[in-house]
């Protein structure tokens, strides 16, 4: 499970931010992590797990996005704004942690472990 850390004052892109942050990894860049907004991460994580099936063959990226949009809180993703970026960030983090499996098919498909 992803660890959420609270930082009273962190700098992101030169801006000071006092929100809760979560450290995320990327399956394509091992050993590197990035801090993201923990509230948005948690909301996307929950929606993504609802959209992903438990076994193969899984869903395509387009199906994943369409499946999670109804589960996103409007307060964090109004009208689905930025949902694609957040979906990919959480998906890559969960892949790196081994919680999501990428099927090497064409097109690519994902499912929960």
The string of pLDDT tens digits covering residues 45-83 is: 999 999 999 999 999 999 999 999 999 999 999 999 999
What are the DSSP E strand ranges found in 40-90? none
What's this model's pTM, rounded to 2 decimal places? 0.82
Residue with tokens 């994902």: 110
Number of domains in the chain: 1
The domain containing residue 9 runs over which residues?
A: 4-112
Handedness of CA 15, 41, 3, 92 (dihedral sign): negative
Predicted confidence at residue 28, as pLDDT, reads 94
pLDDT at residue 99 greater than cutoff 60: yes
What are 112's strand-pairing partners?
A: 100
Tell me: pLDDT of 23 over 70. Answer: yes
Residues with Cβ within 8 Å of 22's Cβ and at least 6 positions away in sequence, in order, are 2, 3, 4, 5, 35, 36, 37, 38, 41, 42
């Amino acid at each position: 499970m992803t660890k959420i850390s609270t930082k009273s004052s962190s700098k992101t892109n030169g801006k000071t931010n006092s929100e809760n942050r979560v450290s995320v990894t990327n399956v394509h860049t091992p050993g590197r992590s990035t801090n993201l907004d923990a509230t948005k991460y948690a909301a996307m994580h929950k929606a993504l797990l609802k959209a992903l099936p438990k076994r193969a063959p899984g869903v395509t990226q387009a199906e994943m996005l369409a499946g999670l949009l109804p589960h996103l809180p409007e307060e964090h993703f109004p009208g689905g704004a930025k949902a694609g970026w957040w979906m990919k960030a959480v998906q890559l983090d969960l892949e790196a942690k081994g919680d999501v499996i990428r099927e090497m098919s064409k097109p690519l498909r994902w499912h929960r472990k």
